């Protein structure tokens, strides 16, 4: 199935969120009884999802502060509120994947509209964007803070569909979800009849490992592979 018809890419896969989290869980992971990476994310994922479900208007930085403290309590690890708040503010330090900047530039140069649909708050996203070369500018940015809810709520996808039509005059059929999380992006996107390209980031656990039965329309091992494929189909 050709990628040529798509004109808008609804993105949430340029940042290495799990490495960013691991780096900033340091105070917990340095303790003798701390879990390995897989076990940690098996705990973190459901905690984060519940916090977001309980209060969809809570800023993501505040969600992360709660995630840190509740994860520490769940694992019986020592922590303090300073560490938890620092974790909540740590998104600007979370790295982008090495192929992100060059792939985004290729896609933009090919005339595709690049739109972010993210669960972060506005301030945190601005910090994250600076991890890309030249502080990459997207065609539109739709955050959980703007929308008032968190993915996988279908409200977020309705917002994206409506605003893509308003901002660019393009329809649902023109949109392709490009993401790593099957839970946050691929599965709810399918409920709104959006096509999806899954970027299978190595070692990604949250929103992926428990959703192996969710089948994307396309699958790629990297953003670079995806960018090359859609540009080839459009040529």
Residues identified as active-site: 12
For the beta sheet containing 113-118, the strands, ordered from the edge strand earlier in sequence to the opposite edge, are: 140-143, 113-118, 8-12, 175-179, 195-199, 218-220
Distance CA 56, CA 145 (A): 9
Task: Give which of 235, 7, 5 is closest to 139, Cα–Cα.
Answer: 7
Task: Give which of 135, 189, 134 is closest to 10, Cα–Cα.
Answer: 189
2, burial (CB in 10 Å: exposed 0-12, middle 13-18, buried 19+): exposed
DSSP element (H, E) containing 11: strand 8-12
Distance CA 27, CA 79 (A): 7
Distance CA 24, CA 22 (A): 5
CA torsion 228-175-216-147 (nearest 10°) is 120
Q: What is the DSSP secondary structure assignment for residue 15, as one 8-state letter? A: B
């Amino acid at each position: 199935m050709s990628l040529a018809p798509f004109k808008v890419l609804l993105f949430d896969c340029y940042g290495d969120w799990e490495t960013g989290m691991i780096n900033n869980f340091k105070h917990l992971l340095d303790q003798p009884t701390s879990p390995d990476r897989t076990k940690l994310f098996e705990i973190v994922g459901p905690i984060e999802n519940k916090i977001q479900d309980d209060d969809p208007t809570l800023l993501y930085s505040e969600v992360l502060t709660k995630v840190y403290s509740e994860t520490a309590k769940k694992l019986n690890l020592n922590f303090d509120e300073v560490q938890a708040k620092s974790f909540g503010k740590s998104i600007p330090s979370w790295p982008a994947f090495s192929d992100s900047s060059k792939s985004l530039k290729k896609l933009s140069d090919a005339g595709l509209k690049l739109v972010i649909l993210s669960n972060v708050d506005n301030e945190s996203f601005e910090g994250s964007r600076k991890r890309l070369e030249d502080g990459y500018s997207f065609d539109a940015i739709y955050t959980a803070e703007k929308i008032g809810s968190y993915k996988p709520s279908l409200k977020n996808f309705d917002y994206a569909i409506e605003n893509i039509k308003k901002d660019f005059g393009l329809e649902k059929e023109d949109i392709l979800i490009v993401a790593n999380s099957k839970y946050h992006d691929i599965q709810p996107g399918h409920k709104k009849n959006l096509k999806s390209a899954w970027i299978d980031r190595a070692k990604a656990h949250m929103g992926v490992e428990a959703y192996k039965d969710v089948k994307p329309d396309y699958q790629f091992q990297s953003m670079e592979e995806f960018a090359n494929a859609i540009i080839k189909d459009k040529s």
